[in-house]
Structure 1
Amino acid sequence: MIAGLVSRVTTNPLYILGTIVIFQMVLNFNLPFWYGVGFLIAMSYLQNVSYGLQARAGTRSSNAFHLITAVLASFVFFATFRYLVRENMPLAFLATYMFGTIFGSLHGNIVSTWIENKIGARAEAPKTKPQLLRFWPSIVALLVVLALQLLFIPFSMNALVVMSLAILTLLDSFAFALLRLARSSDNYWFHGCTALFHIGVAFLKLAIMIKYQMDWGLFWPITTGSVIGSLTGQYYARGLSEWFKAGFDSHVSGSKKVEQPWNQMFVFSLGMVIHVMFFGFSNWTAVSLLLLYAFCQSISFAVVSRARQRNHHGYLLWSSVFSNGIWYLTMHQLALKNITPDKTAPYLVGNTVGSLVGQNVAMKAEKKLIARMDIGTA
């Protein structure tokens, strides 16, 4: 019994991270630090609960469920990231952030599964099934809301910046809605193309958000653009996946070996050749570091994205450790520094190739674990 308890404590990342956080609080008896820990655990937990809801809603058959979760996820992420950006992403909060987000990832899947069962949302639904919110009327209404925001809400920055950010957010969420589905598929080209599109737009969006220190004035256009893009991406994702002939569980149930994405990795890696043509080999150490961080970050994102869609809690738990830890370190080391044009290619190439590798690793893990998509949790 004791051996079993010790084994569970030493192999469960939540116990490990929780212990680290407690030690930090004991050794650092400082009320502002304690407040930061409490606030960040609560917000990061809610962030990943809401994100887990949105991630699953984006591949389910209910527009209303998707819209509500998109708004919730946008608000919680904005508030959490704003706090971290203004605190300069201190490494002292790494364990705290990971604890909250990993705990939230598990509960996000549980809550989402419960809601899906209640409202009858499925990964596959009859095309004749009526929607509470019809797609095109919802999009038109949201575009009107976005236009009214740009016209009447006073912003502390240039209106062109706000409009650009709203458009980038729309494209980012559209691309990410496609990417969520592409990550869970078994088609490397579909995944690679959507990953490159999403990462490119997200890179520009991140640069603007950090430059303006996550000003609250950006929240509403970001949220509205995010919801429009997310709903639109969900609407078209299935058609694109069918066009690419992307399956979801054929690698799990079939006897076919999971192939390596060598061709796709080669093609997308050519971006570094373009980088050398424009910038040469100057500052190559920093470029290589960014390439490595982006590569690892995207592997982790691909794995955890697939894990959220599948029926294995252990798979989700450890992939969340990898994902949230790498993301935090990347933001701390790189994204909060000055984002310049010479960082574009290594960030895009690293993320795109890493996403493909993550897809490959995840498919092999799913085959071994027999982790299928859209089956009740176990």
Structure 2
Amino acid sequence: MTDLPGASDVLDLDSLLSDDERALRQKVRDFTVQRIKPDIARWYEDGVFPVELAPELGELGVLGMHLDGYGCPGRSAVDYGLAAMELEAGDSGIRTFVSVQGSLAMTAIHTWGSEEQKQEWLPRMAAGELIGCFALTEPSAGSDPSSMATTAERDGRGEDAGWVLNGSKRWIGLASVAGVMVVWAMTGDGVRGFLVPAGTPGVTATPITQKLSMRASIQCDVEFDGVRLGPEALLPGAFGLRGPFTCLNEARYGIAWGAMGAARDSYEAALAYSQDRQQFGRPLAGYQLTQEKLVNMLVEVQKGTMLALHLGRLKDAGKLRPEQISLGKLNNVRQAITIAREARTILGGNGITLDYPPLRHAANLESVRTYEGTDEVHTLILGQHITGLSAFR
């Protein structure tokens, strides 16, 4: 499944993939090795998102990968998952860009937009010519979007009436470089979605700095001060929280795969280091304590990858349920963090440098663990499923 060194694909997961799926995985893996891994340490240290990769990722065919029409690749859920896994083996920030662009912003337009909106935005977004963002989270409403304070009020009367948008959003990925924002706001009819083009007066996006995680990525504070929008800005098909939650489930699915890419890369780095590093006259890999760590990492990478593949097959069959996505996101991110941290211990002091990826992956995964539903939120989703009782409040 993962082409790990030696006999590391113990379960022969690779045999569960088609030739086309393996070819797609190899194509994205080659891109990651050639375009991400050589520069990721510098991007991470400098706190820079390589925006120049956007059109290259479009050409690679991973933007809006699971969507059909309008220039979108129209690939399967498993294809998208394999791509997410390979990209996150490079860095969570790069996979997050693909997720925000495709699973969040493009999915919102593709699922809930008008034909005119789809024609206007999706082809350029699929090509990476235009970047989108997804503005849901607020300074006081992260895990509880029903408490959002951002409002959109009618600007006039009749069908031609526009909207006035006011409020704040926080931790909005790519907002400062986005050509279009998908903004969720409370209206008299509940939560609705709006498309806000770049340069609209009254919109201010400020990158959040001094981050200890996701440094090769952009997250912003966004302010909306009397932003006037025409009637064409409204996503006509989105009513209530079902609109953003549909998009969030797409992103959560991709995370279940992506986290295993970071975990696998951490494991591979530790394995290679342990085979080369000599201590007390023999390789670190020859000691029982090291082998136990490597085996524990491998077991969880194999299990997590198999789980992600099962979710992908369910999704392609139209049978994937939200609680199954929650189980995948909760388990795989939690295990990936454990693997990255354990891999760092094999690297010793060298592991705290950017010469090696595990600690960078571990830091990034703290963000991945938090966004698109915290551990606690996914625990409560699963708890409600198995007991029939909601414990959110």
TM-score range, shorter chain: 0.3 to 0.5
Q: Which structure features the higher share of strand residues?
A: 2
- Higher relative contact order, structure no. (Cα contacts within 8 Å, ≥ 6 residues apart): 1
TM-score (ref. length: structure 2): 0.33
Q: Which structure features the higher share of helix residues?
A: 1
